[in-house]
Amino acid sequence: ISVSRQHRTAYHFQPPKNWINDPNGPMYYNGIYHLFYQYNPKGSVWGNIVWAHSISKDLINWRTLEPALYPSKPFDKFGCWSGSATIVPGKGPVILYTGVVDDKQTQVQCYAVPEDLNDPLLRKWVKPDKFNPILVANKGVNGSAFRDPTTAWWSKDGHWKILVGSRRKRRGIAYLYRSKDFMTWVQAKHPIHSKGETGMWECPDFYPVLVNGNQGLETSEGGNHVKHVFKNSLDMTRFDYYTVGTYFEDKDRYVPDNTSVDGWGGLRYDYGNFYASKSFFDPSKNRRILWGWANESDTKEDDVRKGWAGIQAIPRTVWLDSTGRQLVQWPVEELNNLRGKEVNMNSQKLQKGDYVEVKGITAAQADVEVTFSFASLDKAETYDPKWVNAQDLCAQKGSKLQGGVGPFGLLTLASQNLEEFTPVFFRIFKGPVKHVVLLCSDATSSSLKSNMYKPSFAGFVDVDLATNKKLSLRSLIDHSVVESFGEGGKTNILSRVYPQLAVANQGHLFVFNNGTEPISVENLKAWSMKPADIK
Ligand code: FRU
């Protein structure tokens, strides 16, 4: 295979060529899933942005249609930027998106509706002139930082409500707008939420989750049985942060719980390469699904050479953890239909320094689920309370530096003699109160090629090991993607890597332990993955 194709994904969504970024307006309508996304029809770097449009019956296999939105009006002449879809009862879907009106990147909000609601694929979208643009920046609002409208929700007070991301100087802001008819929108006196020193809030998302249970909720649902999730994409770090909290509907204010840190130190959907995400409610299976964009980690020049850049992460079902402190995410169940040949490993002991190959699958295109266990936590290294940043800690310790309990986990996309590998692993520390569990996905050794971004992505896992000395991990390996879910989806990390040796059938998978405490691979299942049908 050619160099430009060897890192293409087999089952993560990507178009045949060119640049993509944010997922836009995901929805389920009349039996079909729609995914729109930021797309450059003219090349593999950002620019000339349109809303590309793909449809699916199962969220895994896709057909691409003509772009749904492209610059065609004075209010979106310089780009059709991110936005959301709302299904208005009795009327059908409406798209709200950001139009860029000039070369100074002045932003306004616009709407579009299907040209023909009887077209089952909703191929053509129109932008009625009567009300467009529906919003321009009011006095006091920064018109070049005013974008990415959310899905609307319907409030008991008889209004539709949406949020638009913004900033004032360094304060991140989500403005709230109300409408009775979906066309005329009025800015609320107060933003729904804001936070100093966080910079531009791109792609806000705001939705209810069940306090008890993993079913998803329609975006307008409220009441005592729900909490709300507020997410924004922080431009300055390129991560998606969220809090869990309460929405006071009468005041139109959102207040994060005291268990949720607001801002930089907060929870992330993913501790790796996952940005500008957006969720939607899927009424066909009563679940909320989360899409997120994973950018390339190679250079712009490489992207030009490859002719493509950007993928979407596997859509994830998302719900509130039973602790109420965080969300849990898991790849949509439809992904399992791509599982082919399966191999197993059971009760495999791993002493310090051991690594054992998982043979018999296409390791560069695979799905792996594994549970590790250990008899004791006594040997865990002491946690230094200065280590607040998981990524720094992972960079400092890596997978090669011997530990007490861990590092142990998977070596993905490994070359036969380990010149290249991307380890996904746990490392356990003895903290002042309880044990601290670190999950790392370390790209440092992922490729012999230099000059690219090889971060040691990592996050902490909120788990109580005192009662249950086990940790589970799932990794979706797809040529240049390692997308991992720790402890059933509590801490997740997507890495983009570009091996030179561990490509195609030269890719290998190992389990390893580099800590003094012996580790048992209680149970490992790995599958060769069939390619998704994406045309
Ligand atoms: C996030 C973002 C959005 C914007 C879009 C432009 O990645 O910058 O804020 O609408 O991408 O493509």
Q: Would you mind telling me the total number of residues written for the chain in this entry?
A: 535
The torsion angle over the Cα atoms of residues 396, 397, 401 and 405, rounded to 10 degrees, is: 160
Asked if residue 262 and residue 140 are part of one domain, the reply reads: yes
Asked if residue 290 and residue 386 are part of one domain, the reply reads: no
Within-domain flag for 99: yes
Asked if residue 417 and residue 295 are part of one domain, the reply reads: no
Per-residue pLDDT reduced to its tens digit, 474-514? 999 999 999 999 999 999 999 999 999 999 999 999 999 99
Q: Is the pLDDT of residue 4 over 80?
A: no
Ligand 1 binding pocket (C-beta < 6 A) is 21-22, 38, 49, 81-82, 98, 147-148, 202-203, 276
Cα 201 from Cα 194, distance rounded (Å): 9
Cα 241 from Cα 255, distance rounded (Å): 15
CA atoms within 13 A on the CB side of 447: 21
Compute, in angstroms, the gap from residue 22 CA to the centroid of ligand 1: 7
Residues 6+ apart with CB under 8 A from 73: 99, 110, 127, 129, 132
Domain boundary among 281, 303, 331: 331
Asked if residue 211 and residue 97 are part of one domain, the reply reads: yes
Query: Above pLDDT 70, what percent of the chain?
Result: 100
- For ligand 1, pick from 203, 273, 293 the residue to mutate: most ligand atoms within 8 Å of CB: 203
Within-domain flag for 188: yes
Question: ipTM score of the complex?
Answer: 0.99
Within-domain flag for 29: yes
Atom of ligand 1 lying closest to residue 148 CA? 10
Within-domain flag for 256: yes
Domain boundary among 288, 305, 331: 331
Asked if residue 191 and residue 70 are part of one domain, the reply reads: yes
Compute, in angstroms, the gap from residue 233 CA to the centroid of ligand 1: 10
Within-domain flag for 274: yes
Atom of ligand 1 lying closest to residue 46 CA? 12
Our count of domains for the chain comes to: 2
Taking the CA atoms of 334, 337, 340 and 344 in sequence, report the sign of the dihedral they define. Answer: positive
- For ligand 1, pick from 19, 147, 235 the residue to mutate: most ligand atoms within 8 Å of CB: 147
Asked if residue 320 and residue 365 are part of one domain, the reply reads: no
Asked if residue 361 and residue 308 are part of one domain, the reply reads: no
Cα 75 from Cα 77, distance rounded (Å): 6
Query: Above pLDDT 90, what percent of the chain?
Result: 97
Q: What is the pLDDT of residue 3?
A: 73
Other beta carbons less than 10 A from residue 465's beta carbon: 18
Residues 6+ apart with CB under 8 A from 221: 208
Asked if residue 345 and residue 327 are part of one domain, the reply reads: no
User: 0.90 cut: is pTM over it?
Assistant: yes
Within-domain flag for 5: no
Domain boundary among 283, 300, 331: 331
Give yes or no: 76 in active site.
Answer: no
Asked if residue 242 and residue 140 are part of one domain, the reply reads: yes
Q: What is the DSSP string of 447-516?
A: -S--SS---EEEEEE---TTT--EEEEEEEEESSEEEEEETTTTEEEEEE---SSS-GGG-EEEEEE-BS
Residues 6+ apart with CB under 8 A from 174: 163, 164, 165, 166, 191, 192, 193, 194, 201, 204, 206, 230, 232
Look up the domain containing 282 and give its range: 19-331
Asked if residue 489 and residue 404 are part of one domain, the reply reads: yes
Which one, of 503, 350, 479, lies nearest residue 425 by Cα? 350
Asked if residue 387 and residue 494 are part of one domain, the reply reads: yes
The position carrying tokens 């306090």 is 211
Report the CATH number that the domain containing residue 487 is assigned in CATH: 2.60.120.560
The position carrying tokens 């922080």 is 234
Q: Which token pair is 474?
A: 């799932």
Q: Give how far Cα 164 sits from Cα of 26, 120, 356, Å.
A: 17, 30, 50
The catalytic position among 22, 76, 282, 302 is 22
Asked if residue 399 and residue 423 are part of one domain, the reply reads: yes
Within-domain flag for 3: no
Per-residue pLDDT reduced to its tens digit, 421-457? 999 999 999 998 899 999 999 999 999 999 899 999 9
Within-domain flag for 386: yes
Compute, in angstroms, the gap from residue 167 CA to the centroid of ligand 1: 14
